Structure formats: structure tokens, C-alpha cells
Amino acid sequence: MVTRCRALFVGVAVIGYLAASQAAHAQDKTIKIGALFPISGPGSYFGAQDKQGVELALEQLNKTGVNGYKFAVQYEDSSCAPLPATQAAKRLIEQFRPDVIIGEECSDATLAVMPVIEQAKVPLLNAGSSSIKVTEPGNPWTFRIMPNEVMQGVNLAENAYKRLNARTAVLLFENTNAGIGNAQVFKDTFTKLGGQVLAEIGFGRDVNDFTAIATRVAGLSKIDVIPTYTLEGQGLKITQALAQSGVTKGGGGGTIQIGTIWLPFGFEQKAGKAALGYIRIVQFDPTETRDVVKDFTAAFKAKYNADPTHLNAHAYEQIMLIADVVKRGGKDPQSIRDGLAATKNYSGVTGSVEFDRTNQNTKMDTVHYMETKPDMSWTSLKWN
Amino acid sequence: MSDPALAQPLPHRQSPPLSRRVGYLLAALAIIILPLIFNDTYWRTNLTICAINVLLALGLDFILGYTGQLNLGHSAFYGLGAYVSTLLIVKFGIPFWGAFVAGVAFAGMAGMVLSLFAVRLRGHYLAIASLGFAVIIYQILLNWISLTQGPLGIYGISPPPALIIGGRVIADFHNLTAFFYLVAAFTFLVYLLLNQLVRSPIGETLTAIREDEISAASLGINAAVWKVFAFGVGAAVAGAAGCFYASFVGTLVPDAFFVAEAFNILAMVIVGGMGTLIGPVFGAILLTLLPEMLRGIGDLRLVVYGAALTLVVLFMPGGLVQAARFVHEKFRRGGPQP
Amino acid sequence: MTTTIVLQQAINGIVLGSLYVLVALGLTLIYGVLVQINFAHADFVTLGAFAAYFFMHLIGAGYFLSIGVALVLGAALGWLINASIFTPLRRKGNELLPLIATIGVSVMMQNLMLAWFGPIPYAFETPYSSQVIRFAGIFVSWQNVIIIAVSSLTIALLYAFMKFTFLGKALRAVSQDRETAGLMGINPNQLIMLTFVIASALAGMAGAMLAPVLVLTPFAGTSVIVKAFAIVIIGGFGNVEGTILAGLIVGLIESYTTQYLNPGLIDIVVFALLLLMLAIKPTGLISERREENV
């Protein structure tokens, strides 16, 4: 008799608890976003800027919420390497239980976390890794906003051949997954079109002085374009060295340096005259006249007192896209995944977003071309 | 007339076999229970990484702590084990355990090659030579893209094939707990093996070389042969760790074997207690878990890690083992006695 | 055309070599006297670079004054590290412990700098870094000329100090035989402190001079430190002339490997040379014989 009473009591208490927690949950509508960014080590170059973009987006969204939902972000340090990234992903999934995850930046890390996140049935939204392997196999849980190395590389090579009439090229790239991958795509396309690659020069991330490389390049016969794949630190040194050796336009030569989205806005100001005539793909142009870009740039400047870079823009875009999905009814991992896949006519700060069946955003207006003018500002080349 | 050398028992023989056996039993129990207590993938991954790092620390300690050879390039053997075994599996379809043995053997042989330098060099010269060796191996793994894929990486590496006895699957190594048991069991066996070695006359020979190589030579010890042996064993163990690493993480890039990794392993040995076997075990566990537990701190996580390392070395150079002995003494005697 | 290239790469190599020598000099000094390796040396260089940057760009001071500031900062840091780490640990007699301690210090410094300065590379422009001298189809930037000039001057001063002053001779005495030097009335501890301070000041100064050349992030020092170690060994531990020679050789190897092979192979070639040296002549290119007491 006593035991049955106790059991009944416990049963009521449990039901009461469950009911109460449901009610509490109903008021407590938050979309949980996990963020896998490199926060320690050299990769923090990406993480620090990503965080700025995320924070700005959160600030704007949480003023009013979307569809009654607020947004919460949990950052985990993925260190731009496979093992720490999978550790960070597991920790995120098990302890924070996110509805959606954004990240990583480095291709190796992204490729390593994809299976973990897929197994947890959480959508992963990526805006930083260029390796084709991220989307090519067609993972239903991985989405990429930015144009991959094939989209950029093929387009760049074709434009170099057709619009710039380039027939010879020298490839300069950092010895990483992204550097080698991007250079390879350019080479394949360029040679298929009939161009000739005179040299492929890969260098480690620890090289500081590029005069030796510039000298070697200067010693080659007439070069039309130099596709360069490196981040801004080394990029600066390369551009200056190439100008000093008289190879590129900035140094009085005829060769044009070309590149993809890796270099931020503001690079030209740091490089000075050496960057004259540099033509590259940018994913974000703060001088664009579209309202969404103007508003973002103004808000960013107001908060951080600096012009936003493409990394800031990518991160902002990821959060904003998620907010758009929530507006369309997404509220948990599965519905957010479906919402992402169904995205149409979305126009963000870096361009439009629409995913193909491998969940790669194929809108080419994310690939803008710029040429550096003598006053170091950009001319937008209407090549796309 | 008895030989005075035999009459004096060496310190490590004083500990009774019973307490050691109890220790082993407790360790085995801990290994079995831990993944059941920490039952999410994040912590089970941590446990497995601990086991792999214990292997690395044990191997290095055998070379450094027992034989006194300043090896700063242990990451080279780790990387060689990982790449040789993985490439054999992925490119030539060799079954896992065959590739494992090949990886271990290759790493062991690389160790013996480095030991040829140890034969001729001492102290800091050997330290920098081993560092140079590690840099060269790393650069080869990084640049020989046609062979190793370099920074492009090797993905989708499978765990060891499931253990099937009589048609029934005993252990599927996709399961993290099963994988942990595999690595932990292997590490346990290696510990037992190394323990036997250091307590045998071989161990005394190695210690003699560590203490005073020139005097040891006058006793007829051929230091060269034993250095080769020590490096071979230590490197082979690191190679095994590499094989497990590759099949556990599933992704292989050369950056995992950058020279800084050798310093991490060295720190584990020192913090744990160089020259003992149990020290590196705890040093490895502590230094694997510490950065993970510090994740909550955020940006200053690694600053704290560096500070901890420096402070341990400054104030507790014998590592955790020294700290444990200190506490043990205080407990036993109720305070220091004259 | 080819002679121009060969000559240009020779000059590039010498410039690179001077860069490495500047960093390696401090290391070799410390090793000569202390028989110790300071892994945080690279981070002194980085910190010196940042100090010069902020002094110049925030306070608006001149470039050479900023170099002076970096030098003083390096000296102060050297004093601190020696007092807090090397002196207490020297009594314990273990070669490895100070090494590990300096690894810990290095990790701390790098991550503190990361927290303070952030990961985005700073563009350090001096009046000299963009100006280029051209003659006979060869070019050299003024910044690099300054690097070579100042390092040559420093080396000459250091050399004179070691050979002709009492302190310098005392330093050499301590490096050859610490106990006997002590017997002769020289206080080894003070001299070791002095060496450390000088070496770290050199590191700070090197950072300030190299800042326009390096990719300036908190990880700048690590990009050169391992090669600096290799140079110290190839040249002979504790030997200033050897370090200079080895530094120049490594610089030339780097530029010629870049020209005729592939930049990715630089480290392999340099370290293969290191291992070769250690196999054939471990005491270095220019060595002094050291006897070991049994």
C-alpha cells in the first residue's frame, strides 16, 4: 500500500516536471548555433574575424528576434586541424546540442568534422573552405555558401585566357590543402584552354622573404599572369617583391598578378604602389551599392571602427542565412537542414545563395572581379 | 664469500611484487570502467587520445629517461608509423594488422638510423640532430605529395577490421569504446613489456649508459649496441601509436607530426617524471586532458598551459612522481624526519 | 641574363643569411657560456619587433629609436628569464629541465602576444623598406642594406668585446671552463647573467630590424628559430665566426634552392646539411676542441 502510494507520487511528480519543462521550453525559444572556428594558433587569423561578424549579426537579430526565436552562439576552438576540430565538434554536439553548426575555415578541419556532424544529424553551414571535396560527394548535411576552388579556379583561368589574353602563367601558392588545390584547378583549366604554365612554385607558411622567389620569376621569359594563392601576410611580401623585381605592373613590368578571394579589402592600402593592376576575385566589396551591403558596412564600422573584410562578411552571412531559414519555419536541426536546402532568391552581403543538389551555392554573383587602380581603390570588372 | 655487488639490493627491487600486481589490477579495472562512466563520444575520444599519448610518452621515456639519450625528434617516428601503415592500406590494400606491423617495424628502423647519430654525439648535439631528423621527416611527408598526399590529406581511413570469432562479431572498432579498449590493452601490454625490460639486466645496462657512458664502457658495455636497441624499441612504440592515431582520427595530414608535437611528448615525460615508467603514463594523461579541461577559459587557455608547464619544471622537476613520493613520505611518517 | 640571376640570388642569399645570423647570434652566445638552449629566444625576437612597431606607430618615434627600445626590452626580458628560470635550475644540474621551462615560456609568450596583438599580420613600413637600390640589373632594398650593415657592425663590436676587453675574455674563460674561471676570481653567475642580457638584447634588436621583412604576427619568431638552431650547430656551438659563416651558407642555400629546385625543399636541404655536419664534424665548421672530464 505504502509502496504504491510512493510510486503514484513519483509518477505524478515526473509528469508534472515534464509538463513544466515543456512549458518552460516553449517560452525559452532559442536557436542554438554552434561555431567551430580556429581561436588559437595561426588559424586564429580566421577565427578572430569570424567572431566579429557573428557578434554583429547576433546583436542585430536578438533585438527583435525572428519568429519568436532568439539566437545563441557557442564557440569552440577547432584550431584549423583535423583532430582538435573533431574534438571541438564532439564537445559542441554533446554539451551544447546545437540546432545548426557553422565552420570551419581550413579544408582539412572541415573535411574531418563532416562525418561527425552528419552522424549527429545536425546541418553544417560552411563559408570558408575551398576544397571541392567538401561538397562534391554530396553530403545532405553539409552546405557551403562560398564558391569552391573549382568554381573560382575555372572561372579565373577562363577569364585570364579570354579577357586578358594570357597565354603563359606562373603559379605561386602556399603549401596547404587550399593553396595546392586552387593552383591545381587553375593549371588544369588553363592548359586545357591552350595556355602554358611556366612554373609552379609552392612555399611554406614560414617563408618571410620572397625576393628569391621573385628573382626566379623575373628570370623566366614573358609571363602574362601570376595567379597567387596565399593569405595577406605573405601576399603582401610577394606583391612587393614582384614589384621590386620589376615583373608586375606595380613595378613597371607587364605581368598581371591575379588571385582569388583570400586577400581582404584593405590589402591594397598596405601593399601600396606594388599592388597596381592586381586583378582578383573578391567575395565582398564594401563599396557595393546594394542596400544590404551598405547597411552591413555601416553597422560594422560603427561597432568595430574598421572596414569589414570578407571573413567578417562570411560569418555575418552565415548567421543571417540561418535567420532567414528560421523565418521560413526552421526550428530544429532537421527543419533547418530542409530550410537551407530550399533556399531561393536569397540575397546577402556576399551575393546570392541557392544550393544545388550537392548543397553547394552555385550563384556566380558571389564571384566579383576587381582591379586595383593607381589610387589603390578598386574598379569593379563586370565579368560575371 | 659473497660478491658485495650482489648483496646490495637495488632500490627498485624493494617494492614487493604484491603491491605491483594490485596496481596492475587497478589499472586494468580503470581501463574497463572509464569509457562506461564517460559515456559520450567527446570524452571517449579524449580517453583514446590519452592512451595513444601514453604510448608515445613511454617510448620516449625509454630512450630519454632510461638510456639518457636526448631525443627531441620523437614526432618523426610517430608520423612514420602513421603514414607507412596508412599508405600500405590505402594504396596497396594490405590488411590492417599487416600494415600495423610494417608501420611499427619501419618506425623502429628509423629509430635505429637516428641512433647512429646518438652513437657519435652527446647531449645537445644529439638533441639538435634529432630535431633536424624530425624536421626532415616532416618536410618529406609534406612535400612528397605524389606519395603521401601532403597537405591535401588522406581521408576516410577505416578503423581496424572488426574482431570476429566463430561468425560472431566480438568487437566492432567503429564503436569508440571498443577502439579505446584495443588501444588501452595494447598500451598496457607495452607497459608490462617495458617494465620487464627495465627491471632486467638490460635495464641496468641502459641506466649505466645514462649515468656515465665512459665508465660504462670501461665495464665492457658496448654503449653503441644498446643505444641502437633503445632507440629501436622507443621508436617502434611511437610507430604503433601512429598507426592507431591514423585509424582512429580517420584523417591524416602531415601537420599532426610537426616538430612541436615532439615537444609536447617531451613535456609529458618530464611532467610525469622522467626515468620512471609510471610517470609518463600520468604525465600523458594530464597533459592530454588539461588543454581540454581548460577550454572553458577561452582565449587564455594556452597561456595557462604554458605557465603550468614552466611552473612544474621549476618547482617539481621530478614531475608527478616526485610529487607523489613527497606526499607519500608525509603520510607514512607523519612529517619529515632527520 | 643568367649571371644576373646568379648574382641576384647571391645577394638575396646574403641578405637572408644576415637575417638568420642576427637571430642566431644570441643563441650561440648563450650556448657558449651557459651550455643551454633558450627556446623562447624566437619570441624575444617577435616581441622586439612588436615593441618597435608600437613605439614607432603609436608614439611616432623614429625608426632607430625604436630599435633602441626593442634592444632595452630584450635585455630586460633576458635578465628576467635568467633570474627566474636558469639560475634556480642550474643548481639541479639537469640539462633538459631549463629547455622544457623555456618551451613553457615560449608557449606563454606566443599566446600572450596573440591575446594582446591579435593574429592579423601588421604591415610594418619604415622609410627604408620600400626604397630600392638598383645597379647592373640587380636590386636590393634599403632595409636589407641596413640589416646587413647593422649586423656587421654588431658582430664587429661583439668580436672586439670578446677579444680585447676584460669582460669579454672573462666570458670566454667561463665558457671554456667554469670552475677554473671561478677560481680565478671571476663570478660565473654574474657573467652568465651578462651574457644572457646581451644575447636577449641582440634578439630584441634583431626583431626590430627584421620587423619590416617578417610577416609580423605573434608567430613570426617561430618561422626562423629552427633554422637558427641549425645554423648554431653547423657553425659550431658557441662560436661566433662559425655562426656567421653557417648563417650565410644557409641563406645562400635557401636562395639557390628556390631558384633551381623548389622552395618546399629548403628545409630538407638545410637539415640534411646539418645532419651531414653532425655525422662528419660535430663540433662545427670552425671549432674549438673541448675536452670532457671523465
Question: Residue A228: what are its φ and ψ, rounded to 5°?
Answer: -120, 130
Confidence class for position B336, pLDDT limits 50, 70, 90: low
Q: What pLDDT shows up at residue A23? A: 45
Ramachandran bin of C136, using left for φ above 0, alpha for ψ from -120 to 50, beta for the remaining angles: left
B257: its cell numbers: 607530426
Pick from A209, A248, A263 the residue to mutate for testing the C interface (most C CBs within 10 Å): A209
C80: its cell numbers: 628576467
Return residues 309-338 of B near C (CB < 8 Å).
309-311, 313-314, 317
Look at residue A371 and tell me whether its pLDDT is greater than 80: yes
Confidence class for position A168, pLDDT limits 50, 70, 90: very high
Selected residue with higher pLDDT from A46 and B332: A46
Distance from the A377 Cα atom to the nearest Cα atom in chain C, whole angstroms: 18
Q: What pLDDT shows up at residue B10? A: 41
Distance from the A67 Cα atom to the nearest Cα atom in chain B, whole angstroms: 31
- % pLDDT > 90, chain B: 37
Q: Which of B121, B305, B307 sits opposite C282 (nearest CB)?
A: B121
Q: What pLDDT shows up at residue B2? A: 41
The set of long-range contacts for C124-127, using a CB threshold of 8 Å and a minimum separation of 24, is: C124/C49, C124/C52, C124/C53, C124/C56, C124/C211, C124/C212, C124/C216, C125/C212, C126/C56, C126/C63, C126/C212, C127/C63
Q: Average pLDDT, whole number, for chain B? A: 85
Look at residue A17 and tell me whether its pLDDT is greater than 70: no
Confidence class for position A13, pLDDT limits 50, 70, 90: low
Find the range with the poorest average confidence among A99-103, B208-212, C39-43, C65-69: B208-212
With contact defined as 3+ CB pairs under 8 Å, the chains touching B are A, C
What does the pLDDT average to over B100-106?
Answer: 96
Look at residue A301 and tell me whether its pLDDT is greater than 80: yes
Alpha helical stretches, state H, C35-165: 41-59, 63-81, 87-90, 96-117, 142-164
Distance from the A335 Cα atom to the nearest Cα atom in chain B, whole angstroms: 25
Selected residue with higher pLDDT from B49 and A272: B49
Confidence class for position A264, pLDDT limits 50, 70, 90: confident
Look at residue A31 and tell me whether its pLDDT is greater than 50: yes
Q: What pLDDT shows up at residue C1? A: 62
Contacts of C19 in chain A (CB under 8 A): 208-209
Q: What pLDDT shows up at residue A227? A: 94
Q: Give the chain B residue whose CA is nearest to the CA of C89.
A: B314
Alpha helical stretches, state H, C118-221: 142-164, 166-176, 178-183, 188-210
Cβ-based burial of A7 (10 A; exposed 0-12, middle 13-18, buried ≥19): exposed
Distance from the C24 Cα atom to the nearest Cα atom in chain A, whole angstroms: 16
Selected residue with higher pLDDT from C278 and A140: A140
- % pLDDT > 70, chain A: 93
Look at residue B334 and tell me whether its pLDDT is greater than 70: no
Find the range with the poorest average confidence among B65-74, B87-96, C75-84, C235-244: C235-244
Confidence class for position B189, pLDDT limits 50, 70, 90: very high
Q: What pLDDT shows up at residue A287? A: 81
CA A105, A109, A110, A116 torsion: positive or negative?
Answer: negative
Q: How far out from the chain centre does Cα C121 lie? A: 22
Interface of B with A (CB under 8 A): 40-42, 45-46, 49, 142-143, 145, 150-153, 155, 249-251, 253, 255-256, 292, 295, 298-299, 301-302
Could you list the mean pLDDT of each consecutive 10-residue stretch along chain C, which spans 294 residues? Answer: 85 88 84 76 92 86 86 91 82 72 86 87 80 81 85 82 78 67 72 86 89 86 82 80 89 91 87 85 63 46
Q: How far out from the chain centre does Cα B178 lie? A: 21
Flag whether residue A252 sits within 8 Å of chain C, measured between CB atoms: no
Q: What pLDDT shows up at residue A28? A: 62
Cβ separation C258–A270 shorter than 8 A: no
Cβ separation B306–C101 shorter than 8 A: no
Confidence class for position A15, pLDDT limits 50, 70, 90: low
The total number of residues shown for chain A amounts to: 384
Q: Which of C109, C233, C264 sits opposite B128 (nearest CB)?
A: C233
Question: Residue C133: what are its φ and ψ, rounded to 5°?
Answer: -95, 135
Confidence class for position B16, pLDDT limits 50, 70, 90: low
Among B274, B265, B267, residue whose Cα is nearest residue B322: B274
What does the pLDDT average to over B75-104?
Answer: 94
Q: Average pLDDT, whole number, for chain A? A: 87
Pick from C215, C225, C255 the residue to mutate for testing the A interface (most A CBs within 10 Å): C215
The total of other beta-carbon atoms located within 10 Å of residue C60's CB is: 7
Pick from B60, B120, B124, B294 the residue to mutate for testing the C interface (most C CBs within 10 Å): B124
Listed in sequence order, the residues at least 6 apart from C13 whose beta carbon sits closer than 8 Å to its beta carbon are A212, C248, C251, C252, C253, C254, C255, C256
Find the range with the poorest average confidence among A167-171, B186-190, B327-331: B327-331
pLDDT in tens, B252-268: 999 899 888 888 898 88
DSSP annotation of A309 reads -
Contacts of A199 in chain C (CB under 8 A): none
The domains found in chain A, sorted by start residue, are 29-147+288-353 (3.40.50.2300), 150-282+368-381 (3.40.50.2300)
Peptide bond into A104 cis (omega under 30): yes
Cβ separation A212–C139 shorter than 8 A: no
ipTM higher than threshold 0.95? no
Please state the domain extents for chain B.
16-256
CA B165 to CA B171: how far, in whole Å? 9
Find the range with the poorest average confidence among A2-16, B118-132, C223-237: A2-16
Look at residue B7 and tell me whether its pLDDT is greater than 50: no
pLDDT in tens, A39-85: 888 888 899 999 999 999 999 999 998 888 999 999 999 988 899 99
Q: What pLDDT shows up at residue B13? A: 47
Cβ separation A95–B42 shorter than 8 A: yes
Look at residue B1 and tell me whether its pLDDT is greater than 50: no
Return residues 84-113 of C near B (CB < 8 Å).
84-85, 88-89, 92, 94-101, 103-112
What does the pLDDT average to over B31-37?
Answer: 85
Distance from the B99 Cα atom to the nearest Cα atom in chain C, whole angstroms: 27
Cβ-based burial of B183 (10 A; exposed 0-12, middle 13-18, buried ≥19): buried
What does the pLDDT average to over A290-317?
Answer: 92
- Say whether pTM exceeds 0.90: no
Mean pLDDT comparison of A97-101, A281-285, C7-11, highest-scoring range: A97-101
Q: What pLDDT shows up at residue B161? A: 87
Confidence class for position B6, pLDDT limits 50, 70, 90: very low
Name the architecture of domain C2-280: Orthogonal Bundle (1.10)
Selected residue with higher pLDDT from C287 and B239: B239
Look at residue A29 and tell me whether its pLDDT is greater than 90: no
pLDDT in tens, B130-166: 888 999 999 999 999 889 998 888 988 888 888 888 7
Look at residue B244 and tell me whether its pLDDT is greater than 90: yes
What does the pLDDT average to over A155-171?
Answer: 92
Listed in sequence order, the residues at least 6 apart from C264 whose beta carbon sits closer than 8 Å to its beta carbon are A175, A202, A203, A204, B139, B142, B143
